[in-house]
Structure 1
Amino acid sequence: MLAHCCGRYLDGEEAPTAEALMRSRYTAYALRDGDYLFRTWHPRTRPTPPYWVEGTQWTGLQILGAEAGGPSDEEGSVTFEASWRDVTTGESGSMREHSRFSRRAGRWMYEYGTND
């Protein structure tokens, strides 16, 4: 599954669309790949690591919609719902986000997200 979806992006290939970058960033969160998250977060909005809450296990991703963000676009957005589980308490839930992406030096970068 990793090789089919996102492994090549985590290994350095550029994501061709905003949605592909969003999927690869979800995978990076699940794998705790902070280097990838750092490289794909626009420097203007990038926070200080760590980029995740310890004890969170990401259990699923559903893309709800995408606007622009194609190979020839400069900006795009992706709305998604991600499921999680707290490995300490067993609590589970989901979060919904509308993420904004833009190109920087020809590469898709995550800018910010708003929770729905």
Structure 2
Amino acid sequence: MARRTARRSHTIRPAASRPADPGCPCGLPAAYDDCCGRLHRGEAAAATAEQLMRSRFAAFARRDEAYLLRSWHRDTRPASVSFDPGTRWERLEILATKDGSAFHTEGTVEFRAHFTDAGHAGALHETSRFTRQDGAWVYVDGVIDA
């Protein structure tokens, strides 16, 4: 007589896991701690104007006033940065860059920063100017495009 093996019924359950890291708020796929977090903590400096722009967007998204002020040109830096509690910075698109590499002293970055404000989607389109101050890239000012 053939031997039958009893079959057990198995319930397959998804493994418990933490949510996947969505990447840095700046839009690059690296985790925040390995990307803009290093700049925010002062462990690294932005190598390009675009990297500084991305790190500043991430600082707005994370409400890091200290980093924003540190990365602002001393001649145009405000006394403080206020954050609208209803605004959430969602996504950054870099549209164009001019100069701003390790070989330049000035550069511009055109970007579109997507946000929600009280549940309504919006976007800020700006061309920002950057320069080197004491060897480090800093934000000077920007022109908001309609």
Give matches, 1:89-108, under 5 Å. Answer: 89-108=118-137
**Count of aligned positions:** 114
- Percent identity between matched residues is 45
1:10 counterpart (5, 15, 40): 40
The 3-state SS of whatever aligns with 2:69 is helix
Q: TM-score, normalised by structure 1?
A: 0.93
Alpha-carbon deviation of 1:14? 0.6
Provide the rounded CA distance (Å) in 1 between the counterparts of 2:107 and 2:87: 27
Unaligned runs of 5+ in 1: none
Give matches, 1:13-24, under 5 Å. Answer: 13-24=44-55
Higher helix share: 1
Higher strand share: 1
Which structure is richer in relative contact order (CA contacts within 8 A, separation 6 or more)? 1
Q: CA RMSD in A?
A: 1.1
Does residue 71 of structure 1 match 2:102?
A: yes
The 3-state SS of whatever aligns with 2:39 is helix
Moved over 4 A (4+): none
Q: TM-score, normalised by structure 2?
A: 0.74
